[in-house]
Amino acid sequence: MGDPTVSGVEGRKAEHLELSVNEPVEGASGPGWADIELVHEALPEVDLEEVDLGVELLGRRLRAPVMIAAMTGGHEGALEVNGALARAASRHGLAIGVGSQRAALQDPELAHTYAVVRETAPDAFVVGNLGAAQLIDQGAGRQLGLADARAAVEMVRADALAIHLNFLEESVQPEGDRRTRGIANAIETLAERLAVPVIAKETGAGMTRATASRLRDLGVSALDVGGSGGTNFAIIERMRAERQGDDRGIRLGRSLAEWGIPTAVSVAGASGVGVPVIATGGVRSGLDAAKAFALGATMVGVARPLLQAALEGDDALDRWIENFLEELRTVVMLAGCARPAELRVRPRVIHGRTRDWLDQLGYA
Ligand SMILES: Cc1cc2nc3c(=O)[nH]c(=O)nc-3n(C[C@H](O)[C@H](O)[C@H](O)COP(=O)(O)O)c2cc1C
């Protein structure tokens, strides 16, 4: 991975994978979970086996409220990772996203590195993925449109298509696509004309309640808030900029390392606009997930820890997922609930920085 002979999108994606696994790529401020406490119920009256983690997402029933978040595809190293992640999604009844499919739209020979997900997990809820920045004219490179989105869906027989919003990353990335005008229209067209639901997905800078409402009005069916506090693409692109000696990327990556709306705050903002919310960004445990559900999330998304486990093998993936679900089930029970969604109406205490964010953005 990170083979300097592979070029363009393909090489960049391999480098993201390598840096995410091997380097400290999370910021210092955190996603906000540490500021949130769920309240113990001393008389729970729910048996652990009664706790039902099943959830409905966009008309489909999942055994657990967890999405393996979009990561990879488009280079040979991705084939094995996507295969392992898809086996885990299948075994545990999780949803699974693939990484940006642009590479395979440009070079169809790479399609198998994504299609492996559907082939391995025929019954899973699979989410395709394209970048919003590529849907508008960047002045160079091919602009993607409706036909490309349909091809991306077809490639993995996707149940939904995520359009990722990554303008923080594009801003720092040495070769980033930095134009943003026209993005709302492009999303609206896809939401209107694609046969599958569109998910708007931030990738580490989060979103406000106003943006969440706007995306809903554009026809998006679900929101992946992708808040700050988990894998941080300003840091990853700064590391790439350092390798390339790109001073601009190094400078911006340093100053924007803590930019963004923490995941907990993004979830609190987006919940209640009327579409399902997926909480991604620094979700590391069943307890973190329970806090996201208390704030209104329908699902949580996890990327980097599952990538690291996938590289160790199927047993490591099983262990990680089983521990996570066991912890979630236990916390749901200890809060006196039988389902994660019931956490929304239980008491919770919110401290510190997260409290400040919520108060000052006017989220009750
Ligand atoms: C190696 C790597 C590649 C990623 N590639 C994509 C991508 O192509 N499209 C996308 O929407 N998100 C991508 N992401 C972002 C994740 O889906 C997720 O939003 C982010 O990593 C935060 O989750 P985490 O803190 O659990 O890692 C990628 C993440 C990683 C670690």
Digit-by-digit pLDDT tens for the chain (364 residues) are: 333 334 578 888 889 999 999 999 999 999 999 999 999 999 999 999 999 999 999 999 999 999 999 999 999 889 999 999 999 999 999 999 999 999 999 999 999 999 999 999 999 999 999 999 999 999 888 899 999 999 999 999 999 999 999 999 999 998 899 999 999 999 999 999 999 999 999 999 999 999 999 999 999 999 999 999 999 999 999 999 999 999 999 999 999 999 999 999 999 999 989 999 999 999 999 999 999 999 999 999 999 999 999 999 999 999 999 999 999 999 999 999 999 999 999 999 999 999 999 999 999 7
Q: Is residue 222 part of a domain?
A: yes
d(CA 358, CA 274): 19
Q: Is residue 1 part of a domain?
A: no
Measured from the Cα of 26, ligand 1's closest atom is 25
d(CA 26, CA 125): 28
| Residue 346, domain extent | 8-361
- H helices of the chain, in order, are 8-22, 76-92, 102-106, 112-120, 146-156, 167-172, 183-193, 209-217, 233-244, 247-255, 263-270, 286-294, 304-312, 314-334, 352-361
| Of 247, 201, 237, the residue nearest 220 (C-alpha) | 201
Question: What is the reported pTM?
Answer: 0.96
pLDDT of the residue at 6: 43
The terminus-to-terminus CA distance of the chain in angstroms comes to 46
Measured from the Cα of 283, ligand 1's closest atom is 26
pLDDT of the residue at 1: 30
Q: What is the CATH number of the domain that holds 254?
A: 3.20.20.70
Note whether 270 and 225 are within 8 A (CB).
yes
Q: Is residue 251 part of a domain?
A: yes
Number of domains making up the chain = 1
Q: Is residue 216 part of a domain?
A: yes
Q: Is 240 helix (H, G, I), strand (E, B) or coil?
A: helix
Give residue ranges with CB within 6 A of ligand 1: 16-17, 20, 69-72, 99-100, 129, 162, 164, 201, 203-204, 226, 230-231, 280-283, 302-304, 307
pLDDT of the residue at 5: 36
Q: Is residue 3 part of a domain?
A: no
pLDDT of the residue at 7: 53
Query: Best of 82, 126, 198, 304 to mutate for ligand 1, by most ligand atoms within 8 A of CB?
Result: 304
pLDDT of the residue at 13: 87
d(CA 241, CA 7): 16
Query: Best of 20, 231, 288 to mutate for ligand 1, by most ligand atoms within 8 A of CB?
Result: 231
Task: Show Cβ contacts of residue 270 under 8 Å, excluding neighbours closer than 6 positions.
Answer: 207, 209, 212, 223, 225, 277, 296
What the block records as the tokens of 229 is: 């506090």
Q: Is residue 2 part of a domain?
A: no
